[in-house]
């Protein structure tokens, strides 16, 4: 499947009907935009809400981390704050979260540093971890839907508190293949092949 087919399938572009109006089509009124999506073939398992959300940050991102922890607590999540020691370098902040996910103690984590990149580089060295550094709410959603990411990495130099909370919500509330049901088999197969490459 090439990129164009992927995008058309993912966003229903192949089934969109659009009339542009009188100045382009000669009609007097534009017809509404309609999109159809196939019925999902298989529902992905929901996140286990009995397990905590892990969060860790380096000193650059302590303020952002505190804002996200407060937001998650308000939403009723169980949160394990792995702390922000004053001397903790970014390349150590991810280790405890990754090991906890590997051991089954948690399913998702949020890692924060100046750009998010350092945390993601370290986290992705751990087997079974898919850490995505994102710079938009849309990417936070799609890293779950497309890549089945289990760690979200954000940068305090990029994100303000309010939008970071929106990104966290998108990450936690999106399931693998959600909204991409026509591509579900392709995405599941791709996930297995990517995991094999990392092994």
**Which residues are known catalytic residues?**
113
Q: How far apart are CA 86 and CA 141, in angstroms?
A: 31
Name the percent of the chain in helix, strand, coil, to the closest 5: 45, 10, 40
130, 151 Cβ separation under 8 angstroms: yes
Q: How far apart are CA 99 and CA 119, in angstroms?
A: 14
Following DSSP, what letter does each residue of 41-54 receive, concatenated? SSPPPPP-TTSPEE
Handedness of CA 108, 114, 116, 120 (dihedral sign): negative
Cβ neighbours, 10 Å, residue 26: 7
Structure-token match 């969060």, residue found: 55
d(CA 13, CA 162): 31
């Amino acid at each position: 499947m090439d990129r164009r087919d992927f995008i058309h399938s993912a966003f229903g572009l192949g089934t969109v009907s659009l009339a542009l109006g009188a100045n382009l089509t000669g009609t007097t009124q534009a017809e509404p935009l309609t999109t159809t999506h196939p019925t999902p073939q298989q529902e992905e398992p929901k996140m286990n809400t009995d397990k905590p959300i892990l969060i860790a940050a380096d000193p650059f991102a302590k303020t952002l981390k505190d804002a996200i922890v407060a937001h998650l607590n308000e939403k009723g999540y169980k949160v394990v704050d792995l702390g922000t020691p004053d001397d903790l370098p970014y390349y150590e902040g991810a280790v405890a979260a990754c090991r906890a996910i590997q051991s089954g103690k948690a399913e998702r984590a949020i890692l924060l540093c100046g750009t998010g990149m350092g945390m993601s580089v370290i986290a992705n060295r751990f087997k079974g971890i898919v850490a995505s550094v994102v710079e938009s709410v849309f990417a936070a959603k799609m890293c779950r839907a497309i890549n089945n990411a289990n760690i979200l990495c954000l940068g305090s130099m990029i994100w303000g508190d309010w939008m970071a909370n929106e990104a966290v919500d998108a990450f936690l509330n999106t399931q693998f293949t959600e909204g991409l049901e026509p591509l579900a088999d392709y995405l599941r197969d791709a996930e297995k092949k990517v995991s094999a490459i990392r092994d």
